[in-house]
Amino acid sequence: MKWWAALLTVSAFGQVPFDRIVNSAKEPENWLTYSGTYLGHRYSPLTELTPANVSTLRVKWAYQMDSRAQVSPIVADGVMYVTGPNSAAALDLRTGRPLWKWSRPLPKDYQSIGFGRVNRGPAILDNTIFVATLDCYLVALDAQSGVERWSSKVEDYKVGYSMTLAPLAIRGKVLVGVSGGEAGIRGFVDAYDARTGARAWRFYTIPGPGEAGHNSWSEESWKTGGGSTWVTGSYDPETNTVYWGVGNPGPDWNPDSRPGDNLYTCSLLALDGDTGKLKWHFQFTPHDSHDWDSAHVPILFEADVRGTHRKLVAVANRNAFYYALDRATGEFVAGRPYAKQTWAKGLDDRGRPIVIPGTEPSEQGTLVWPNLNGATVWFSPAYSPKTDLLYVAVREIASIYFKRHAEYQPATFFAGGGEASAPGTPVSGAIRALDAATGQMRWEFPLNSAPWAGVLATGGGLVFSGSDEGNFFALDAKTGKPLWDFQTGGRIAANPISFGIDGSQCVAVAAGTVLYVFGR
Amino acid sequence: MWRCLLLAAIAAAAQAQSDPAVGRKIFESQCALCHGQTGGGGRGPALNRPKLPRAPDDAALRTIISEGIPPDMPASWQLHPSEVMGLAVYVRSLGALTPEVLPGDPTRGARLYESKGCPACHIVSGKGTGFGPELSTVGARRSAAYLKQTVLSPAANLPEGFQYVAVTPASGPATRGIRVNEDSFTIQLKDSAGRFHSFRKSELRELHRLEKESPMPAYAGQLSPAELDDLVSYLAGLKEKS
């Protein structure tokens, strides 16, 4: 039995206070928050699985979900917590047998405007599981029984607000963001009191009249400016700072009604965890017209930059550029393309893109790389502190962008155009390893098509990810060499995790409607 | 994500106004590439017919325009609901045009189809061999002009996603076949005898994608102009399974 298996016995059915999540690296048999750590690494310190033995992985158990599964589970003290759209379950970690199930009926008039009916995972804090629902409620469930403790209305689903993300639980608070960037919403990041469900703060991603940044919108356009917040952010417990990405401006493909930079769309926000007050922002794509949300998990890490040790935050952006920023100030430190792009000549000294004229959507259609789903999108990158590499699943795909008239009507598609596939242009994908401090590519593993799966890195020197054709696979974290693969039979559009069962390292990923757990 | 965008677009379409002039403009710029300038067909089926089998009513037609027919026909959710409406009205108006009269005799064409050995690779209404694509309804999917070109020079008009592949395993015989499926680690081929072969890419010494090659022989020079017309008129008449 491994030393941490003994720990597991001691802490069985214990609570998961904030401090345990902060120190999650000390109990790698668990996976206590969306990205494994608050720092967004999606990295497991477990070292049992290595390039030498990963070929012996086999399926330990599988769990059938009710619909397309995009869940990144939570593992705590012998129990795995999973979610689907408006549903959750606790599973016995050894067998996958359900211990409890919970669901919430979806209102008949609910509609998803611009995204799938999915859920990307739960959060845990103390003895409570938190679930964000499609009809835009944050629900707290008793971890031992699945009984609902409270539910709080976040916003009105009837005008297009929705939630698909895993909440982020920090000290005493649970944070969520909203989908709806194609429905003319005004986005925000919300924090709720973990015990009562009362809203603690809200930060609107589109500044209102009198607020800084409001003048980056014209007339009434800010009211329907989008700026969704639909992917879980990261958190620096040392400075109590939340890092959260913001989605596209609305209408997506017709920017005529919103001249200006359209703050804080397509930006990264640094918010105070107690108050939601903005510390800084960095806008990746000012005045976006390609639907390039900055809906990514930011990665917090440290590196030597030109002789100085710095705390950084990195984002591989949907717009095909990689960015490393100063974590305390948002200052641009480094950036470069990590995938094919045809819309910008490069980044200037402050990280602002030098846009190539004529790349906006048009009546007759404009061919641009990447497509609207971007060079990468909601699925997570991974960072290994052992290799100092950031691993990202990359989509190499173009599209023809069309611009159309846009008129806002509540609860309807407010997009002003769209995209069509570009016939004759090659489509492919890759897992790329980037030097975290510079974005320089160190290796790549090519994929047959553009992927929808996140990446997991492990302390044993492995990188796991999945393909659109159902391959779940392991690569050597140093070289990208393929070491093991398994055909799951379902499209993989989910983030993998790693944890321990009875002292043995396991890896889980959802594929199609099935959650697979692999072990030796 | 886009599927849902689409549903919203379709829902809104019911309330939108239609304009056939708008529809014609869109058709000629975005649809004609496959369906022909006046809907006579090409890579895609002819639409200048009173009945469209996949679109029995206008709602179904709008759905097909919006969602496409994977993998051949792309979705067009970039279109505004009113544009989809106008396009549907225009496509229906094409059906009122007089259908193209083909030269050639389909009965003689059917005999040629047999005598030239086509059933050795294709199935029509349950009869033949399933190495190549089934042709039971090929006349509903492809225009006469497209069929003619394909018979003369198959490699000039490869279907969407079609790939002819030659592989040399590290051990074992080299194989050629039609790609049946592929993922990042494996590829599956069907050889000319109809046998399936499965390879791990890591175990292949060579993998050649034979772009612009087809296992089907070219019939240019093998058929007289009259025979070609007969064969094409037979194939173009294969619209429904019998």
Q: What average pLDDT does range B32-44 have in this prediction?
A: 80
Residue B179 near chain A (CB below 8 Å): no
| B101, part of any domain | no
Identify all chain A residues contacting B25, using CB atoms and an 8 Å cutoff: none
Q: Please report, in tens digits, the pLDDT of each residue of chain A (520 residues total).
A: 455 555 544 444 459 999 999 999 999 999 999 999 999 999 999 999 999 999 999 999 999 999 999 999 999 999 999 999 999 999 999 999 999 999 999 999 998 888 889 999 999 999 999 999 999 999 999 999 999 999 999 999 999 999 999 999 999 999 999 999 999 999 999 999 999 999 999 999 999 999 999 999 999 999 999 999 999 999 999 999 999 999 999 999 999 999 999 999 999 999 999 999 999 999 999 999 999 999 999 999 999 999 999 999 999 999 999 999 999 999 999 999 999 999 999 999 999 999 999 999 998 889 999 999 999 999 999 999 999 999 999 999 999 999 988 889 898 889 888 888 788 899 999 999 999 999 999 999 999 999 999 999 999 999 999 999 999 999 999 999 999 999 999 999 999 999 999 999 999 999 999 999 999 9
Tokens of A150: 């409270």
A475, β-bridge pairs: A463, A482
User: Would the CB atoms of A115 and B83 count as touching at under 8 Å?
Assistant: no
pTM reported for the whole predicted model: 0.88
Are B201 and B228 contained in the same domain?
A: no
Q: Indicate if the pLDDT at residue B17 is higher than 60.
A: no
- Nearest-CA distance from B117 to chain A in Å? 33
Active site includes A291? yes
Q: Which of A291, A326, A349, A435 is catalytic?
A: A291
Are B21 and B39 contained in the same domain?
A: yes
Identify all chain B residues contacting A448, using CB atoms and an 8 Å cutoff: 182-184
Q: Which residue of B has its CA nearest to A110?
A: B8
User: Would the CB atoms of A116 and B1 count as touching at under 8 Å?
Assistant: yes
Q: Which domains does chain A have, with CATH numbers?
A: 3-519 (2.140.10.10)
| B242, part of any domain | no
Tokens of A12: 């069985």
Residue B108 near chain A (CB below 8 Å): no
Closest CA to B51 of B98, B95, B102, B100: B95
Q: Which of A117, A413, A468, A483 to mutate to test the interface with B (most CBs of B within 10 A)?
A: A413
Beta strands A353-355 and A308-316, pairing class = unpaired
Q: Which residue of A has its CA nearest to B5?
A: A114
* DSSP for A464-517, written as a single string: EEE-TTSEEEEEETTT--EEEEEE-SS---S--EEEEETTEEEEEEEETTEEEE
- CA-CA distance, A159 to A170, in Å (whole number)? 29
Q: Which residue of A has its CA nearest to B161?
A: A424
Are B224 and B200 contained in the same domain?
A: no
Give residue B99's pLDDT band: very low, low, confident or very high (50, 70, 90).
low
Element housing B107 (H / E): helix B106-115
| B99, part of any domain | no
Give residue B3's pLDDT band: very low, low, confident or very high (50, 70, 90).
very low
With beta carbons less than 8 A apart as the criterion, state whether B2 and B68 touch.
Answer: no
Q: Return the pLDDT at B35.
A: 85
User: Would the CB atoms of B5 and A116 count as touching at under 8 Å?
Assistant: no
User: Would the CB atoms of A469 and B202 count as touching at under 8 Å?
Assistant: no
Residue A295 near chain B (CB below 8 Å): no
Helices (H) and strands (E) in chain B, counts: 9, 7
Which residues, 6+ apart, have CB-to-CB distance to A443 below 8 Å? A432, A433, A479, A480
| B241, part of any domain | no
Q: Return the pLDDT at B10.
A: 36
Give residue A320's region: left, alpha or beta (phi > 0; psi -120 to 50).
left
Q: Return the pLDDT at B13.
A: 38
Element housing A43 (H / E): strand A43-44
Q: Residue B144 maps to which CATH number?
A: 1.10.760.10
- CA-CA distance, A122 to A211, in Å (whole number)? 33
Are B6 and B40 contained in the same domain?
A: yes
Are B38 and B22 contained in the same domain?
A: yes
Using CB atoms, pick whichever of A413, A417, A469 lies closest to residue B183. A469
- CA-CA distance, A165 to A132, in Å (whole number)? 7
Q: Indicate if the pLDDT at residue B224 is higher than 60.
A: yes
Distance of CA B150 to the CA centre of its chain: 11
Using CB atoms, pick whichever of B3, B12, B29 lies closest to residue A364. B29
Which residues, 6+ apart, have CB-to-CB distance to B54 below 8 Å? B60, B64, B69
User: Would the CB atoms of A467 and B74 count as touching at under 8 Å?
Assistant: no
Q: Return the pLDDT at B77.
A: 66
- CA-CA distance, B90 to B30, in Å (whole number)? 13
- Sheet containing strand B186-190, edge to edge, reads B196-200, B186-190, B175-182, B164-169, B204-209
User: Would the CB atoms of A402 and B29 count as touching at under 8 Å?
Assistant: no
| B36, part of any domain | yes
- CA-CA distance, A355 to A368, in Å (whole number)? 12
With beta carbons less than 8 A apart as the criterion, state whether A157 and A101 touch.
Answer: no
How many structural domains are present in chain B? 3
Using CB atoms, pick whichever of B5, B29, B83 lies closest to residue A182. B5
Are B172 and B74 contained in the same domain?
A: no
Q: Return the pLDDT at B179.
A: 95
Are B141 and B227 contained in the same domain?
A: yes
Give residue B40's pLDDT band: very low, low, confident or very high (50, 70, 90).
confident
Which residues, 6+ apart, have CB-to-CB distance to A179 below 8 Å? A112, A114, A115, A161, A162, A163, A164, A165, A228, A230
| B14, part of any domain | yes
Are B9 and B59 contained in the same domain?
A: yes
Residue A488 near chain B (CB below 8 Å): no
Distances A435 to A211, A350, A445, A460, B14 between C-alpha atoms, Å: 37, 20, 15, 19, 51
Q: Return the pLDDT at B12.
A: 39
Which residues, 6+ apart, have CB-to-CB distance to B68 below 8 Å? B74, B75, B76
Q: Which of residues 296-355 of A touch B (CB under 8 A)?
A: none
Tokens of B42: 């090409």
| B184, part of any domain | yes
User: Would the CB atoms of B8 and A111 count as touching at under 8 Å?
Assistant: yes
From B94, B116, B140, give the residue that closes a domain: B94
Are B175 and B55 contained in the same domain?
A: no
Are B130 and B152 contained in the same domain?
A: yes
Closest CA to B157 of B188, B140, B133, B128: B133
| B145, part of any domain | yes
Identify all chain A residues contacting B75, using CB atoms and an 8 Å cutoff: 420
Residues of chain B above pLDDT 70, percent:
89
- Nearest-CA distance from A320 to chain B in Å? 19
Q: Which residue of B has its CA nearest to A254?
A: B78
Q: Can you give the residue range of the structural domain that contains B187? A: 164-209
Are B17 and B111 contained in the same domain?
A: no
- Nearest-CA distance from A283 to chain B in Å? 24
Are B70 and B116 contained in the same domain?
A: no
Q: Residue B179 maps to which CATH number?
A: 2.30.30.100
